[in-house]
């Protein structure tokens, strides 16, 4: 099989070090630890697929600024896949959502970032997570930001996504995320991998010789 150029990905476990991210008050479960585990598993899966070349923004529990995270992705000319868990004041809030920059490209077609986000969201929902949909921070029609300017989507040159896997503030989802033997974090990593494969490999069909 002819090998094309590798698809470069930088996997970004959200938070870390001084910043634990969302913390489940009942159990002390920290978003920074959950995202690191998912990211390590995702990286290990990607490393067994020669079509991809993957790196992490952090390998351990350490502080990395948002600027450093996007710098790593941009220096590698890579897509950034930032991994987070959600949190809300309402403990009933639950489910998965994936963020990208905008739904469309300047030409009006669906953006690559939106395709990647949609493919990942589909697989997360297939795990049984409530579907909160694909979300965007910028609307090309009105040329306005429609949500908080998430740095990792705003400052990356390649189409990038931010995955909110589930809610650490929801007792049931926190239980799943915190259970190291239950395999849920590993299933999330597989779902994200499948979404990346479907959206990124589908775009590079082999050229006729
Ligand atoms: Zn987060």
Virtual torsion, Cα 135, 84, 183, 72, nearest 10 deg: 110
Q: Is the pLDDT of residue 208 over 90?
A: no
| DSSP letter (8 states) at residue 197 | I
- Catalogue the E-assigned strands of the chain: 7-13, 52-56, 79-86, 96-102, 131-139, 144-145, 161-167
Q: How far is the CA of 40 from the centre of ligand 1 (A)?
A: 16
Q: Which of 70, 14, 68, 73 is nearest to 38 (CA)?
A: 14
Q: Is the pLDDT of residue 2 over 70?
A: no
C-alpha 190/C-alpha 106 separation (Å) is 32
The number of distinct structural domains making up the chain is: 1
Q: How far is the CA of 172 from the centre of ligand 1 (A)?
A: 18
Q: Is the pLDDT of residue 204 over 70?
A: no
C-alpha 7/C-alpha 64 separation (Å) is 24
Q: Residues whose CB is under 5 A from ligand 1 (ion)?
A: 14, 21, 84
Residue 19 placed within a domain: yes
Residue 206 placed within a domain: no
Beta strands 161-167 and 96-102: pairing type? antiparallel
CATH code of the domain containing 76: 3.40.630.40
Per residue in 141-193, pLDDT (tens digit) is 999 999 999 999 999 999 999 999 999 999 999 999 999 999 999 999 999 99
Q: What is the pLDDT of residue 3?
A: 64
Residue 209 placed within a domain: no
CB 121 within 8 A of CB 96: yes
Residue 53 placed within a domain: yes
Q: How far is the CA of 69 from the centre of ligand 1 (A)?
A: 13
Q: Is the pLDDT of residue 43 over 60?
A: yes
- Residue 64 tokens read as 């990395």
* Helices H / strands E in the chain, number of each: 6, 7
Q: What is the pLDDT of residue 202?
A: 73
Q: How far is the CA of 12 from the centre of ligand 1 (A)?
A: 11
Residue 180 placed within a domain: yes
Percent over 90 (pLDDT), the chain: 92
Q: How far is the CA of 41 from the centre of ligand 1 (A)?
A: 18
- Give the 3-state secondary structure of residue 164: strand
Q: What is the pLDDT of residue 205?
A: 53
Beta strands 131-139 and 96-102: pairing type? parallel
Q: How far is the CA of 84 from the centre of ligand 1 (A)?
A: 4
Per residue in 78-130, pLDDT (tens digit) is 999 999 999 999 999 999 999 999 999 999 999 999 999 999 999 999 999 99
C-alpha 57/C-alpha 48 separation (Å) is 19
Side-chain half-sphere of 121: how many Cα atoms within 13 Å? Answer: 20
C-alpha 17/C-alpha 77 separation (Å) is 26
Q: How far is the CA of 167 from the centre of ligand 1 (A)?
A: 10
Residue 30 placed within a domain: yes
Q: Is the pLDDT of residue 59 over 60?
A: yes
Q: What is the pLDDT of residue 37?
A: 98
Domain residue limits at 95:
7-103+110-201
Q: Is the pLDDT of residue 199 over 90?
A: yes
Q: How far is the CA of 2 from the centre of ligand 1 (A)?
A: 39
At 4, the pLDDT band (50, 70, 90 cuts) reads confident
């Amino acid at each position: 099989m002819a090998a094309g150029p590798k698809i470069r990905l930088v996997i970004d476990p959200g938070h870390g070090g001084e910043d634990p991210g969302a913390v489940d008050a009942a159990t002390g479960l920290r978003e920074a630890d959950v995202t690191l585990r998912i990211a390590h598993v995702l990286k290990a899966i990607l490393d067994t697929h020669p079509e991809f070349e993957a790196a992490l923004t952090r390998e351990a529990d350490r502080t990395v600024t948002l600027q450093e995270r996007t710098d790593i992705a941009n220096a590698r000319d890579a897509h950034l896949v930032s991994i987070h868990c959600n949190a809300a004041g309402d403990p009933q809030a639950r489910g998965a959502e994936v963020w990208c920059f905008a739904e469309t490209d300047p030409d009006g077609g669906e953006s690559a970032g939106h395709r990647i986000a949609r493919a990942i969201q589909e697989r997360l929902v297939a795990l049984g997570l409530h579907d909160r949909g694909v979300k965007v921070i910028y609307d090309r029609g009105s040329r306005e930001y429609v949500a908080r300017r998430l740095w990792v989507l705003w400052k990356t040159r390649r189409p990038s996504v931010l995955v909110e896997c589930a809610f650490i503030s929801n007792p049931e989802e926190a239980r799943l995320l915190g259970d190291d033997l239950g395999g849920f974090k590993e299933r999330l990593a597989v779902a994200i991998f499948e979404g990346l494969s479907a959206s990124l490999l589908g775009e590079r069909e082999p050229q006729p010789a």
